[in-house]
């Protein structure tokens, strides 16, 4: 038998029919929606009198537009935002799907609560009209982002018509150094191979450095696969994943758990499986990374300098880099660490899980945010917030001068109507530094939670390796 | 879905790489639930002088008189990367775009184009630059999905590839949901077997919010 990769196995498990030489009809095991792109899909199929085929396999949260202030309701700073929240609620109730509403104790960002609730499982297909759905590949699922029309198709048929993407393996040897995380690894990869480097591929991350990553770090890793233009990212499930999922609310229980476990152990790829392309990285070489420009590929080591656009390979890339410098208010050869910051943000589906908050809190412990810096921490879910509070992390954040919010996507983007403001320089644990992403003319530098914490304390971009840790 | 067979129109070049869907339609321009009312917000961050007004930014290419009424977009590598928001395609379509030509596309954006009758065409950057130069005097470009060819005003012809199922979907204006619903028997048969092999996938009740 032909050796099969993890991706080959996940794909074959879900093929209902081969539609033609290119497209397969795939079974979709889980659908997740949110108020910005999911409400419109539910509304649209309702208008066409198409029922949701399996409401028990569909989930919805309110994460994008909702406020993240304590005691929030349907009002939001985004003009018209309330319409998204209320329409989504009406449609979700009408369809009879499980909604993690604004005040639900299990509320959170879709890609945080899906693993946390045991909704995504190894070997399952899960889609959501949200590009960061690839995050959930960290559990060993086949998870990818779709548009709202495709979501309508999934809701009405529990299937999607998909052309099998090419496969790529990224082998990561050795181990990440201290104060370097999955976020740094992905920024390093994207800077080296460009933001189009994984174009359309299903990527399996493998190798000793990946096996050593916690489940939460694997979620961060796969989250950024879409910033590499990938179809999705995934990591072969192992005992760490199974332990993580055990007894989660929607995870299999009892006899089902035992049967699922046997199935999940068969999912990792055969050792001689073939890929359309392969890349190799040495984790030991990766430093804390930070972006200087307006694409995740514009990343350098935190102790580096702003690159000179004239070194770009093509005229178009040079123009792009010049535009990015103008937007970011930077000059070539400036040291990143010399840049003073206006704000620090810890949150988002990339880096707002408990381990992310712990990594920041270890540096913030007993320290203060620099005067003039606005610092905000938004836990990825209410469960993360409760877990953090049980460990006293909220006190560390508050004592340091951070705002401590309730869960949501918050200032990862401008969807909630909140922004740091024009020309404000923000160090952020989010995934996109696009022009205007965090608000009109806001300047975003992407980094890990450790680097954001170190920078918040210093008042300028700072290297977390230069701070001593709290015991 | 609106069919696409052949389209003739003005082509406007926006050849910068990695134009993301936040740039195509900023969050603040998505003001209510629905697929309409988005054309005004297309490229709002670049098209208007500031975020509070609708005063056109004269340097932005869509605001140049020679590209008024453009319906074919010549774009850069990885066009439509980023957020999955289908609003990006709804905005392009409402503005009047029927085809986007680029060296590569964001995967989700490309599928969203197909689902809305906007034709995404992959061509090398060199060809796009040639088409942009050739059409800068105002001559129209023709995109023919029947022959899978692009005709530049200077007489050059460029062939492109598109998966045949997507080509047919666009030519006929087919509704993929309706097509798939015809396969309901196959879907049910799959699920019957799959329930035996992976019973834990098939949740049998909604778990309500904990009290």
CATH classification number, B6-173, choose in 3.30.70.580, 3.40.50.970, 1.10.1660.10, 3.20.19.10 = 3.20.19.10
Please write the tens of the pLDDT for every residue from A53-106: 999 999 999 999 999 999 999 999 999 999 999 999 999 999 999 999 999 999
Write the CA distances from B103 to A318, A370, B106, B206, integer angstroms: 17, 45, 11, 45
pLDDT at B206: 58
Residue keyed to tokens 């910068």:
B16
CB atoms B23 and A435 under 8 Å: yes
**For the residues A131-137, what does the mean pLDDT come to?**
98
CB atoms A435 and B84 under 8 Å: no
Q: Which CATH class is domain A167-237+270-285?
A: alpha beta
Which residues in chain A are classed under CATH 3.30.499.10?
Answer: 6-164+238-260, 289-465
pLDDT at B205: 66
Residue keyed to tokens 């993929």:
B176
Q: What is the overall mean pLDDT for chain A? A: 96
Helices (H), A202-307: 208-211, 215-223, 239-245, 254-265
Please write the tens of the pLDDT for every residue from B108-132: 999 999 999 999 999 999 999 999 9
> Which residues in chain B (106-145) have CB-CB distances under 8 A to chain A?
106-109, 111-112, 115-116, 125
> Phi/psi at A279 (nearest 5 deg)?
-130, 155
Instruction: Evaluate whether A225 touches A143 at the Cβ level (below 8 Å).
Output: no
**For the residues A243-253, what does the mean pLDDT come to?**
97
pLDDT-derived band at A1, boundaries 50, 70, 90:
confident
pLDDT-derived band at B209, boundaries 50, 70, 90:
low
Put simply, whether B198 touches A (Cβ < 8 Å) is: yes
> Which residues in chain A (319-338) have CB-CB distances under 8 A to chain B?
319-320, 323
**For the residues B197-209, what does the mean pLDDT come to?**
81
pLDDT-derived band at B1, boundaries 50, 70, 90:
confident
pLDDT at B211: 38
**For the residues B15-21, what does the mean pLDDT come to?**
95
Beta strands A23-27 and A15-18, pairing class: antiparallel
* Predicted interface score ipTM higher than 0.85: yes
Q: What is the number of CB-based contacts under 8 A between chain A and chain B?
A: 206
pLDDT at A471: 47
Put simply, whether B77 touches A (Cβ < 8 Å) is: yes
CATH superfamily, domain A289-465, is: Aconitase, domain 3 (3.30.499.10)
pLDDT at B210 over 60: no
Q: To the nearest whole angstrom, how far is the Cα of A2 from the nearest Cα of chain B?
A: 22
C-alpha Rg value of chain B to the nearest Å: 20
Going from N- to C-terminal start, the domains of chain B cover 6-173
Q: Name which of A161, A200, A440 is nearest B45 (Cβ-Cβ).
A: A440
Q: For the domain A6-164+238-260, what is the CATH code? A: 3.30.499.10
Q: How far is Cα of residue B155 from the mean position of the Cα atoms in its chain?
A: 26
> C-alpha angle with apex B116: B114 to B120, nearest 5 degrees?
40
Q: To the nearest whole angstrom, how far is the Cα of A178 from the nearest Cα of chain B?
A: 30
pLDDT at A339: 98
**Residues in B touching A230 (Cβ below 8 Å):** 107
């Amino acid at each position: 038998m032909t050796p099969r990769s993890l991706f080959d196995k996940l794909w074959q498990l879900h093929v209902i029919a081969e539609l033609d030489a290119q497209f397969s009809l795939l079974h979709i095991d889980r659908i997740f929606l949110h108020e910005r792109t999911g409400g419109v899909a539910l509304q649209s199929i309702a208008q066409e009198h198409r029922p949701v085929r399996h409401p028990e396999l569909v989930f919805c949260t309110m994460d994008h537009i909702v406020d993240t202030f304590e005691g929030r309701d349907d009002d939001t700073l985004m003009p018209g935002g309330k319409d998204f929240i209320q329409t989504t609620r009406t449609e979700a109730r009408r369809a009879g799907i499980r909604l993690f509403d604004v005040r639900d104790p299990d509320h959170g960002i879709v890609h945080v609560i899906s693993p946390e609730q045991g909704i995504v499982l190894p070997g399952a297909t899960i889609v959501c009209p949200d590009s960061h759905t690839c995050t959930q590949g960290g559990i060993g699922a086949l998870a990818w982002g779709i548009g709202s029309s495709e979501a309508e198709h999934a809701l009405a048929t529990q299937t999607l018509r998909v052309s099998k993407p090419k496969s790529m393996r990224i082998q990561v040897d050795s181990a990440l150094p201290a104060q370097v995380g999955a976020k740094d690894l992905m920024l390093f990869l994207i800077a080296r191979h460009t933001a189009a480097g994984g174009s359309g591929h299903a990527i399996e991350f493998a190798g000793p450095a990946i096996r050593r990553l916690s489940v939460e770090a694997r979620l961060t890793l796969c989250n950024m696969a879409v910033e590499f233009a990938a179809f999705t990212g995934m990591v072969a499930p192992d005992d760490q994943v199974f332990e993580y999922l055990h007894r989660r609310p929607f995870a299999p229980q009892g006899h089902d758990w035992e049967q699922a476990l046997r199935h999940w152990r068969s999912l990792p790829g055969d050792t001689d499986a073939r890929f359309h392309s392969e890349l190799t990285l040495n984790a030991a070489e990766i430093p804390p990374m930070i972006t200087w420009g307006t694409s995740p590929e514009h990343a350098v080591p935190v102790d580096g300098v702003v690159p000179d656009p004239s070194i770009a390979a093509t005229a178009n890339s040079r123009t792009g880099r010049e535009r990015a410098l103008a937007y970011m208010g930077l000059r070539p050869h400036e040291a990143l660490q010399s840049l003073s910051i206006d704000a620090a943000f810890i949150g988002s589906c990339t880096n707002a899980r408990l381990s992310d908050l712990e990594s920041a809190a270890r540096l913030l412990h007993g320290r203060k945010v620099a005067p003039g810096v606005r610092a905000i921490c938004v836990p990825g879910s209410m469960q993360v917030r409760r877990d953090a509070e049980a460990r006293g992390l909220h006190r560390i954040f508050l004592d340091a001068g951070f705002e401590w919010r309730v869960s949501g996507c918050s200032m990862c983007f401008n969807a909630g109507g909140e922004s740091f403001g024009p020309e404000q320089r923000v160090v952020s644990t989010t995934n996109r530094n696009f022009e205007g992403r965090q608000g009109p003319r806001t300047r975003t530098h992407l980094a890990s939670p450790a680097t954001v914490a170190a920078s918040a304390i210093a008042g300028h971009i700072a290297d977390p390796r230069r701070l001593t840790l709290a015991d | 879905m609106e069919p696409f067979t052949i389209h003739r129109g003005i082509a406007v070049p926006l050849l910068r790489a990695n134009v993301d869907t936040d740039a195509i339609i900023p969050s603040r321009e998505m003001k209510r639930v629905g697929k309409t009312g988005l054309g005004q917000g297309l490229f709002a961050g670049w098209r208007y002088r500031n975020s509070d007004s609708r005063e056109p930014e004269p340097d932005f290419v869509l605001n140049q008189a020679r590209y008024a009424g453009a319906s074919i977009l010549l774009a850069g590598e990885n066009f439509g990367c980023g957020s999955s928001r289908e609003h990006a395609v709804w905005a392009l379509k409402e503005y009047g775009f029927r085809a986007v030509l680029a060296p590569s596309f964001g995967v989700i954006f490309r599928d969203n184009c197909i689902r809305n009758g906007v034709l995404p065409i992959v061509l090398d950057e060199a060809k796009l630059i040639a088409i942009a130069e050739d059409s800068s005097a105002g001559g129209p470009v023709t995109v023919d999905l029947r022959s899978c060819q692009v005709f530049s005003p200077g007489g050059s012809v460029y062939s492109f590839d598109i998966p045949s199922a997507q080509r047919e979907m666009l030519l006929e204006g087919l509704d993929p949901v309706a097509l798939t619903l015809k396969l309901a028997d196959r879907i049910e048969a799959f699920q019957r077997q799959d329930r035996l092999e992976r019973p834990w996938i098939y949740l049998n009740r909604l778990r309500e919010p904990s009290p």
